Structure formats: C-alpha cells, structure tokens
Structure 1
Amino acid sequence: MVALLVAALSGLSPARAQESAPVAEPAVVVPAQAQAEAEPEPAPQLRRQGRWLVDEQGRVVIVHGFNLVWKLDPYVPPDSAEGFTEADAAWLAQYGFNGVRLGTLWAGVTPDAPGVGDPAYRDGWQRVMDLLADRGIWMQLDMHQDQWHETYGGEGVPDWAVHRPKVLSLLPPINLPFPMGYWTPENSLVFDEFWANKHQGVDDWAAAWQVAAGWWKDQSHLMGYDLMNEPWMGLEWLSCFTGGCQGAYTRELQPAYEKVTRAIRQVDAKNVVWWEPQQLAAGRQVPTYLEPMAGEDQLGYSWHNYCQDVFLESQGLPFGNVENCWKFSQERTTTALAQAKRINAAPMMSEWGATDNLRAVEIDAAVADRNLMGWSHWAYKQWQDPTTADDAQGMFHDDTDFSSVKQDKLRLLVRTYAQATAGEPLAMSFDAKTGAFSYRYRANAIEAPTEIFVSPLHYPEGYRVEVTNGTWETGQGGRILVRPVVAGTDVVVQVTAR
C-alpha cells in the first residue's frame, strides 16, 4: 500500500516505486477523510443485469415515469411554470414517478458544427438533471427526432445536418403535419441518405453522442443513452409496415447503432446504450431484427407501444376498438422481451400513451405490470408539441397550473409498485379502482431493502400491508421497506385499502 501511495505522489509506476522508495522512510499515513476526498463515491447509475436494470446496490429497478421532450428551439424546457422547475421535480416524486426520458436533441448538443458541443445547452439540461437527481429520479437521455427537421415539419437534427436531395431541392419542401410528413418522398429519401452516411450523417450523429456522453457519463441517476427516437427507414417504409423490413436492420440500422455505440464507448465504457426498433414497430405487430453486438453487455432495448385502435379513435376514424389493445399490448410486450433477450439487453417501454383515452391507459399500464415492464409515459406536459397526433397528450389542461391535472388519468398512472427489489421480481399486479396490490419476488442476500411505493391516491382511509416470508416497515417518500426472513425464499407483499 505504501508503495502505491508513493507511486501516486511521485508519478512512478508501482514497480519502479518499490525499487526507489528508501527502506528507512516512515510509512505515509493518509487520513480517512483525505482518502474519501480523493476517491469519491461513484454517482448512482443504473446498469443492465440480465433482463433487468439494477441500481448501485444490486437491486432491480422498475421505472414508472414520463417523457420530457421540449421540441422547440432551444430544445430544453425553460425555468418557468410552463417548463420545468423544482416544483415539477417535487410533483413527480410526490406521485412516485421515479424515471424520465429527457429529450437531449442533436440540434441542441452540436448546433453549429459536427462534434462541437454547446455549453449553454449543456447548462440548460444540467439544471433540470440536478433537480431530478436530487429527488432520486432516474434519467434516460433521448436524442429525439420527429420527421428529421423543421424543414419537414419536425425537429431533431441541426440546421447544418439538413441536406436536401439535389433534384427535389429545386422545389419547395413539402411540410406536412405529423406523422404524414414521414411519407413524403423527400423526407424518406433524406433518411435513406442518412443511413447510407452520404453526407457523413451517421458519423456526425456519432460525434454528437460522443459529446453528450462526455458531458453526462458521471451524471447521478443516469440510466443511459437512447440513440434515436423512432428511426424511420426511408423509402422502404411500406415493407416495414407490412413485414418489419429485416433488410433495413441488416443494411442500415444495426451498422449505424454499432458505430454510435463504439463512439460512446470511447468516452463512456459503463452506461447503458439504448437501441430502438424501426419506427413502425410501435404500432404494427411486425417482427424486429436487431442482433447482439460483439463484446457489448450494457445494451437497453427502448421500445414504444401505440395501439393502432387508439390512434384511429383519436383521429375520429371508424373501426377502432380500444379493447383490442389488450391483445396488441401483450403481443408487443412479448416481442420486446424476445428482442431484448436476443441482443442481451434490458427492455423498457420508453413511450406509450399519448392519449386521454382512459381505457387505453388502463390496459397498457396493466399489461406492463403483468410483464414487470418499466415505462415512460408520453407525455408529462404538452409543451406546444409541434409533432403530435392530437393535443391530448400531457398530464395538465394548462402546463403552468398543477391544479389543472387530469385527475382520472393521474389515478391510472399513479400506482403502488415495486421501485427497487432486493431479488428477482416474479409477479406484480395493481387494481387502479380498489388499490389492491400484490407483488411476489425471490429474495436474495442484498442488505438493502426492497422498496415499494404506495400510491397516495388510492387509500383515503389508509392501507393494510401483509407480507409472507418477510417483514416490513414504513420508509420515506411514501414507500414501505420489505426484508426477507430468509434469503432465497419467495416473498409476497399485499397492500389493500382499509
């Protein structure tokens, strides 16, 4: 130990320090406080372990939260009642939302030139991240895009990354509302040229992620990097719609994801990198074709779940029946679990909802519980969203006023659930009408307790807790803490209203 300390102070290698250190020198004693200052505790972050996300204590974390994506220039929410303040972070924590997906857009990260980060953009999001981390809320960073750029009625990439195809650039661009803009020939061709790296687009995207990872690799409560929101595969979109477009994964998506992941790994070897399937897999029952990446064991599978019956109803079109979403949501979840397993990734339903259809929200939340699936609901606030299928997607009628919250929707999303499990989750259910909750897990020998958040909305007269093969006590922040009597046994926790 002395030789290692001398090496650190002298700049010599340990071997050389052993050769050079005078035998008669007294041992150097470093006070414990100085050692602690020299080696600070690493920030809490989530890692992938099997199909799960685990915290720094090895507990399985299930995330319930929201998307926070400000799609207007400067692509970060302002410090205002409409945007995001300390009051918003407190609101999320109060209702048990322990995760968010933050829209850290390429257009904001490197707005002026490839690979050149904007300190003001970093500072803007750092303010929000600090508020969230102080509340123990996990953060997935999402390089969000919709329809590529404002030129096409969307947002996402910097102005300098827009390269209109030569022939079509002689005409004004077609700017259609979301999502119709994707289906224009020019928008699809722009994506095709991007995937082909025609203008070094993939290289510049990788460079932007390298900047972002360099900024935030040590961020407290980080749960990784979602490389691209809903990637569009270009002119072959019809084959994606009908059969999943396997060739697009092989030729375009997989090589691009691996290139960006390698770029991130040059600056951050530890945090989870999240891959998404092609966009239409969110609303179509089609296969997905991502493959494992050699040598990579910290992948996440970020998938979206949008039942097409709900979309039809939102557009006032016939043939939509929300009850079909039971089957749809379970099929998409089963497909996501299989895809995640194939690429050795932890899955998370990072977008769903986008509706005030209460039955649709109820169905998707119940299916997620049944499959022990973490989620980020779309969306926290409306935030003047320019690329949305309707205007009923936020949690508030007025983004500046917490009292305008959509109460019935809130009651479905605020749930009693296991936030951190010292063991393996086995089964979970919650009845949003009665508040009845049941959870079963196989306990391990982790010293930290299992933490279950208890909804503040469903037990007006209080609640009862029954634990089989374990004990419980009241924790902080609306949680109960559960410990097994014997490690290795199945612990069952039930919460009911009085």
Structure 2
Amino acid sequence: MTTPAAAAPAPPDLGHAGRWLTDDQGRAVTVHGVNMVYKKPPYFPAAGGFGEKDAQFLEDNGFNAVRLGFAWNAVEPQPGVYDDAYIEQIAQTQRLLARHHIYSLVDSHQDAYNASVGASWSGFPAWATYSDGLPVQPNPGFPLVYFTSPAQNQTWANLWRDRAAPDGVGLQEHYAAMWAHVARHFVDQPYVLGYDLINEPWPGWEYPTCFPKGCPGFETGVLAPFEAKVMNAIRRVDENHLLFYEPSLTNDFGTPNWMPNPTGDPKAGMSFHDYCLGKVDTCVTNGLDRSAAEGVVGVVTEFGATTNAAKLTTLADRFDADMVSWMFWSQPQDQTPDHPQEPPTGPNLMDPSIVRPYPRAVAGTPQQWHYDSTTGTFTLRYSTRRADSGQPFADGARTEVFLPESGYPGGYRVESQGADVVSAPDARVLQLATGPGQDTVQVTVTRR
C-alpha cells in the first residue's frame, strides 16, 4: 500500500502594512492581474471558455491576481433564494487559479444595475430594481445612461434609501446577506486576495453634486454605511480575508475621493479605478492619497478597456512610478451584445505594456522601480526593513522579481548591490538573497 504524499500547506492569507500588501513573511507583495467578469448568462468564466490552459498562460506571463466577478442576479435569483450551484462555478475557477498560484479578488460586479433600466447586462436582479415607473429614455447606452436615464437614477436612489424588496426585507439587507452567503464558499480557500464589495456604485440623482469636487456627502453619509453593512455581514463568516470597499463611480473619472473606511476594519483595502479624463491623471493620486489617509491598502482594480498600446504603456509606467498593484481590464471584458466572450489571455493580453517585470515579493520596503520597455532595462531599489515594523529582515531573506520571457527573449544580466542572485540563470522569477548588514538593495536587469 502506497502512503499518499502529504499535501503542501496552504499559503496564508495576504494582509497589509499601510499601503503594502504583505505575505506571511512580512514581505511587501505587488500584484499584477486581470479582470474576469462574464456578463452573459450563465455569468461564470468557464462558460466563456476560461480553463486550465488560460490559467497556465496567466501564470507563465507573471499574473498573480484575478478580479473574479460574479452577478448578484445569478447568486440570488429570488429574494432570499441562493443558487449555490452558480456560486460553485465561480469557486471552481477560484480553485483553478489557486493551483496556478494566482490570487482571486472576488468581486460583486454590475454596470448600470439591470438591463431593464438601460444596462447592457443584468448584474443586479430585476426583483431589486425599482424605477417607480420612470422612463428609461433617454438611453445612449453604458456608461452615459447613468447621466441621462430617469429610471436608472431612481433605481439607485431606491437602493440607497433601502427600499423594501418584495419579501419586505430591505434591499441593502438582502445585499449584505447575499455577500455573507458567497463568502462562506471562500473562507477556507487558499489564494483568496479578498472581497470587492461593489463595483462602481453610482450616486443616483445626487451625481451632479459630485462634479468637480467629488461627493463627500454621498460617500460618507450614504455609501459608507451601505458598505459597512456588507463588511459586517462578511465578518460574521470570514474574519481573515481583506475587504475592499469602493468609492463612487465618479472617482473613475478623476473627481476627488472622500471615501472613508466604512467600519475602520484593520483588514481593509480600497479598490479604485483609473479611467481618468483629460491630460492630467488624478485617479491614482486620489486613490492612493485617500487610502493612505485611511491607513488601508489601495489597489487599482480596473484600468485599460483599450488596445491603444501607447496609452497602456503610459498607464503601466505611471503605476510603476507609484509602486501600485493593479488589475487590467482587457478588451474582451467589454462584453456587449456584439462582442464575444473570450478569456482575457493570448492575443487579448500579450502586450509589452502589460506583461512586464515587477517585484512581486520584496524582503523589505520598495523605494522605486522602473521598466523601459524599449531597452528592457529594469531597475529596483528597496530598503531591507520591514514595512510593518521597520525592523530589518534577516540576512538571506528572499526577494522575488518576475521577468517575462517576452521582455528578455535572449536572457538577461543582473547587477545587484546588497543582495546575491540565488536563482538559476534566466529564470522567470529572479530571486535575490539579502546580504549581511545591508540596509538597501539596488538591482539592475538588462537584456543579454
């Protein structure tokens, strides 16, 4: 009789130290990820073709995170009735990604609420949609429908007023309970980055007050209490995973961010997006500044939605300059009636703007990194002191840097001061061991 091999221990949950995601060793973790939100029935990735080879592709190209969307409409098709088979489909994709060492940020996704009020798909259920008979028109389509449709704005107003559902229970209470039910499926799973509470909440009729100076009244007085209900409900079933709250959708376009940590939860993060308009990109600065003010970790969980390589390079370079984690929205995620569902891989993703070097785990606190996609030169500097305590890491602590084959087709050279290279030549993951008594490490990678 053969004794089965012991299973490898599950990786601990990620935490954070101020602005940094951290692993169980206290290393500063950076994620480069993609969004996967399938907006057509049956609303789960496998139905859109995502499978083993796609997860392998993401791993091979250095992606260590996926924002994994689900539809409230599919989770709770009737008030208080949950479709566990649907949630299991989302969970199966999460487990597939975990086998490839990819973290999932489980995301409750919507875009303009429900198709009956002008959305191109129904992220939120029809039974939770109360337009009070107001007209959908004018409806120029997503996202402009937010600004024009009376039905759209009245529906959001009723959510924020906690209108009773057909069973007499408030919509907000239904939403929070739904989230707790979903979280039970992920509480013990490895490689769960956390929960993104609601995608791009819209203020409803209050939206004109959000331009140009943001909407502090809505974010602090309406949105934060709503997301607090969700956070409290999840915490009753999951005490460990990070909870990522989102500010108003108007922040995506560059308005100031006033969003507080809804409950003061120490294991919280802010999920914010970068679709800034105009020449000056304030989205990242607004998000990071507000995250820092709240003492939470900030992650750019959406950007892109374009194949413009120059724009993507500019954005990715900006994220590097700010040392921020991000999750790309690839063109296949723009799932309109005329656009097919496709996994966000292969030619949809393989772009030097997005597939690029980055320090995915630093035994210390990052100070700077930069990548020149033209020359292939990557530089990294970091302190060997921990982000959480300021104490130095032990000698020999490992830092990991992903170096894509597409960026270094003929291999690479490494110059390092303060750390020794301990990985094999031209390994996709460069490993550096901190030298004795070193306060700072400086690394330069060039193409061979």
Decide: shared fold, TM above 0.5: yes
**Deviation, structure 1 residue 42:** 5.1
Q: What is the SS of the residue equivalent to 1:193?
A: helix
* Conserved 8 A contact 2:137-2:150: no
Aligned AA for 1:399? Answer: E
Q: Distance in 1 between matches of 2:56 and 2:226?
A: 38
Aligned to 2:435: 485
- Gaps of at least 5 residues in structure 1 are 1-32, 310-323, 392-396
Q: Report whether the alignment pairs 1:134 with 2:84.
A: no
Aligned to 2:298: 347
Write the deviation string for residues 252-296 of structure 1: whole angstroms up to 9, x where unpaired: 111111111111111111111111111011112x21112244551
* Alignment match of 2:398 (pick from 413, 428, 449): 449
* Alignment match of 1:58 (pick from 26, 46, 61): 26
> How does 1:467-486 map onto structure 2 within 5 Å?
467-474=416-423, 478-486=428-436
- Structure 2 length as normaliser, TM-score? 0.89
Q: Report whether the alignment pairs 1:291 with 2:260.
A: yes
**Deviation, structure 1 residue 241:** 2.7
Q: Report whether the alignment pairs 1:436 with 2:436.
A: no
* Conserved 8 A contact 1:417-1:454: yes
> How does 1:312-323 map onto structure 2 within 5 Å?
none
Structure with larger Rg: 1
Write the deviation string for residues 94-132 of structure 1: whole angstroms up to 9, x where unpaired: 111111101022122222333x43221122112211111
Write the deviation string for residues 24-74 of structure 1: whole angstroms up to 9, x where unpaired: xxxxxxxxx9xx99xx95543211221111122222110111100001122
* Conserved 8 A contact 1:421-1:449: yes
Q: 1:288 to 1:415 in 2, by over 3 A?
A: same
- Gaps of at least 5 residues in structure 2 are 165-169, 385-391
* Conserved 8 A contact 2:228-2:263: no
**Deviation, structure 1 residue 249:** 1.3
Q: Distance in 2 between matches of 1:104 and 1:90?
A: 22
After the TM superposition, which parts of structure 1 deviate over 4 Å for at least 4 consecutive aligned residues? 40-43, 171-176, 400-407
Aligned to 2:409: 460
Q: What is the SS of the residue equivalent to 2:302?
A: strand
* Conserved 8 A contact 1:83-1:383: no
**Deviation, structure 1 residue 406:** 6.3
> How does 1:66-465 map onto structure 2 within 5 Å?
66-78=34-46, 82-114=48-80, 116-152=81-117, 153=119, 154-165=121-132, 167-168=133-134, 176-183=140-147, 184-199=149-164, 200-284=170-254, 286-293=255-262, 295-309=264-278, 324=279, 327-328=280-281, 331-379=282-330, 382=332, 385-386=335-336, 399=342, 404-405=347-348, 410-443=351-384, 444-445=392-393, 448-465=397-414
Aligned AA for 2:142? Answer: F
**Deviation, structure 1 residue 159:** 2.6
Q: What is the SS of the residue equivalent to 1:247?
A: helix
**Deviation, structure 1 residue 83:** 2.1
* Conserved 8 A contact 1:100-1:139: yes
Q: Distance in 2 between matches of 1:118 and 1:488?
A: 54
Q: Distance in 1 between matches of 2:26 and 2:214?
A: 36
Aligned AA for 1:190? Answer: T
What's the Cα RMSD here?
A: 2.5
Q: 1:471 to 1:299 in 2, by over 3 A?
A: same
Q: Distance in 1 between matches of 2:423 and 2:206?
A: 55
Q: 1:469 to 1:404 in 2, by over 3 A?
A: closer
**Deviation, structure 1 residue 332:** 2.2
Q: What is the SS of the residue equivalent to 2:92?
A: helix
Aligned AA for 2:288? Answer: L
Identity of aligned residues (%): 33
Aligned AA for 1:372? Answer: M
Write the deviation string for residues 348-372 of structure 1: whole angstroms up to 9, x where unpaired: 0000011111111011100100111
* Conserved 8 A contact 1:105-1:157: yes
Q: Distance in 1 between matches of 2:258 and 2:192?
A: 27
